[in-house]
Amino acid sequence: MSHQPSSQPGSRGEMAPQPMNGAVHSDNGLTATMNGTYANGTTDAEGHKTRFASKPVVHRNLDLTAPLKDYRRAAIITAILQRDDPTIVLDLIREVPPENDTTGADCILDELGHTALHISASLGRLKVLEALIASGADVHRGNYNGETPLIRACLLSNNFDQQSFGTLVFLLHASIRTLDTAQKSVLHHVVALAGVRNRAIIASYYLDQIFLWIAQHQEGDFRSIVDLQDEHGDTALNIAARVGNRGLVRSFLDVGANRILPNKLGLRPGDFGVENEVGRRWLVPELN
């Protein structure tokens, strides 16, 4: 049986946060209590429920091509591209006139519906990312395709090049189970990246960091995400098998992904040569 998201909003380790005195700390200074509540107010969704991305907030009189004509929005993008300086970015966001956009930190910056959170996540601008979240930016906000900042970050190599994806997951973990308009999870996008030439090692790193977070901070609740099916009925395992990445296939089998779940065409992971092998790499250690 496929898992379907609610239609309503619910709420390899260089940076893996470790428990200390009842809290989880990251190198960027954010602190989380062990129940998943952060100093910036974000929390893991209770029960690890799936949901669809929040839609971009577009003013009723805003032409979708308007961001291309607005030098203020272009200046925000340029500032994020140039350096990881939250002060400059937040100041520029405040300059966007309220009569044109009333969404503050979630204002749309380009014709694809990206916000500053999408762009900073994609580029690995962690200081900007943290400041935007603290200013109320929605980690569940999608672009016009429903792609969240976490999903967009998985489509580029910047966070692999900087080895910053562990911290990125720390900041955006609440959106791990947020789906785009095609019902694809971040896992679907990661394994699709593996099908691009010279991107398999990047996909493996991203998947490892997501699984590491789930294992360490979400009680190893892989079941609530690994068998999610997109609009074509494909699970992430099905896609991993189809692109022929045996390493990713093993990673999904390690966490209990269903190897016989068919898509809408009746194709199963086994039809693409999934091997019957299961490891124990991501089993959560018992707590004393």
CB half-sphere exposure, 60, CA atoms < 13 A: 0
**In this predicted model, what pLDDT tens digit does every residue of 191-234 receive, in sequence order?**
999 999 999 999 999 999 999 999 999 999 999 999 999 999 99
Distance CA(213)–CA(206), nearest Å, equals 11
In contact, 120 and 132? CB cutoff 8 Å: yes
Query: Is the distance from CB of 105 to CB of 117 less than 8 angstroms?
Result: yes
Please provide the CATH number assigned to the domain covering 176-288.
Answer: 1.25.40.20
Instruction: Look at 42-51, 175-184, 189-198, 278-287 and tell me which has the smallest mean pLDDT.
Output: 278-287
Q: Tell me: the pLDDT tens digits for 74-98?
A: 999 999 999 999 999 999 999 987 6
Contacts of 91 (CB under 8 A, 6+ apart): none
Evaluated on CA atoms 255, 261, 265, 268, the torsion sign reads positive
- pLDDT value for 268: 94
CATH of 61-175, one of 3.40.50.2300, 1.25.40.20, 3.40.50.300, 3.30.390.50: 1.25.40.20
Out of 25-29, 58-62, 158-162, the most confident range is: 158-162
One fold for 61-175 and 176-288 = yes
Cα–Cα distance measured from residue 7 to residue 127, given in angstroms and rounded to the nearest whole number: 32
d(CA 53, CA 185): 10
pLDDT value, residue 69: 78
Domain map (residue ranges) of the chain:
61-175, 176-288
Question: Which two three-digit tokens encode residue 266?
Answer: 């009746």
Task: Tell how strand 23-25 and strand 31-33 pair up.
Answer: antiparallel
